[in-house]
Amino acid sequence: MNRAELFRAFEATWPPTHLERIGPFSYREGAGGGSRVSAATLEGALFDAALDNIEARFAQDARPALFQIRSGEDAFDAILEQRGYRMFDPVACLTAPVERFAAPKPEDGYVGWPPTAIQCEIWAEGGITAARVDVMRRAPEPKCSLLGRLGDMPAGTAFVGLHGEIAVLHALEIARPARRQGLARAMMGLAADWARRNGATQLALQVTRDNTAALALYSSLGMEEAGHYHYRTNT
């Protein structure tokens, strides 16, 4: 898979409130929607004045400087480290063809839009705030939310957006009493089925490397790493 297209799919399906080009950087504002929609990224050749300028913009907006460093940006990463930036949240970007996932069963749940109140409650219990749900609401169509079920109980939720032939799954959350019962695996089948029916050939997602349980699940489903990133901040 083309790595640049993969990162464009992540951006398109999880958009910031504001995106601006400042020199070789993309500068984002996310309205509390998390690091992904709030970090600046390097899009061109780096020079010292450009880094000084974007640091000044963060300061002007009373924000800590925050950068996402993606696959292949080791030189930029080293410069930030030399400036005292702290690294956090290393993330793996995983993909698989949609046909690799098992077909969902009717009892696994359903897809729809907008998300229901119970889905928002499940997200909130897992730390996915209303500001992150707002990211989903401003994402362009086609998109859907997944409601996973165990028996008659709503027990899981996720968001899926489509960019070209790449469907991206975000914010998969299983209610605590329903964990370790196979629901996350079933919901991946729901996501892949929706993706296929909407013209996608690949299903992608992002997962922090310290989430070992999720990494093990996605590996067992045949998902493979296609890129990575982490953040650096000056706080």
- What span, in angstroms and rounded, lies between the C-alpha atoms of 60 and 121? 36
Mean pLDDT for 9-14 is 98
Residue matched to tokens 């780096």:
46
- 59: pLDDT strictly greater than 80: yes
Three-class DSSP labels, 4-28: HHHHHHHHHHCCCCEEEEECCEEEE
pLDDT given at position 89: 98
Model confidence pLDDT, tens digit, residues 176-222: 999 999 999 999 999 999 999 999 999 999 999 999 999 999 999 99
Neighbours of 114 (CB within 10 A): 12
pLDDT over 90, % of the chain:
97
Model confidence pLDDT, tens digit, residues 107-134: 999 999 999 999 999 999 999 999 999 9
pTM: 0.96
Residue-averaged pLDDT of the chain: 97
- What span, in angstroms and rounded, lies between the C-alpha atoms of 191 and 226? 19
- 1: pLDDT strictly greater than 90: no
Strand order in 109-112's β-sheet? 66-70, 224-233, 86-97, 202-208, 166-174, 153-163, 143-150, 109-112
Packing angle of the helix pair 183-197, 212-220 (nearest 10 deg): 60
Model confidence pLDDT, tens digit, residues 135-163: 999 999 999 999 999 998 999 999 999 99
Model confidence pLDDT, tens digit, residues 13-51: 999 999 999 999 999 999 999 999 999 999 999 988 999
- What span, in angstroms and rounded, lies between the C-alpha atoms of 193 and 187? 10
Collapse the DSSP code of 93 into the 3-class scheme (helix H, G, I; strand E, B; otherwise coil) and give the result: strand
pLDDT category at 227 given cuts 50, 70, 90 is: very high
pLDDT given at position 48: 86
pLDDT given at position 97: 98
Packing angle of the helix pair 130-138, 117-125 (nearest 10 deg): 130
Whether the bond between 140 and the residue before it is cis, its omega within 30 degrees of 0, is no
Q: Are 204 and 10 within 8 A, CB to CB? A: yes
CA distances from 218 to 95, 138, 153 (A): 9, 27, 24
Structure tokens at 107: 């009892």
Those residues whose C-beta lies under 8 Å from the C-beta of residue 97, and which sit 6 or more positions away, are 201, 202, 203
Q: Give the side-chain half-sphere CA count within 13 A for 195.
A: 33
Which residues lie across from 160 on neighbouring strands?
144, 169
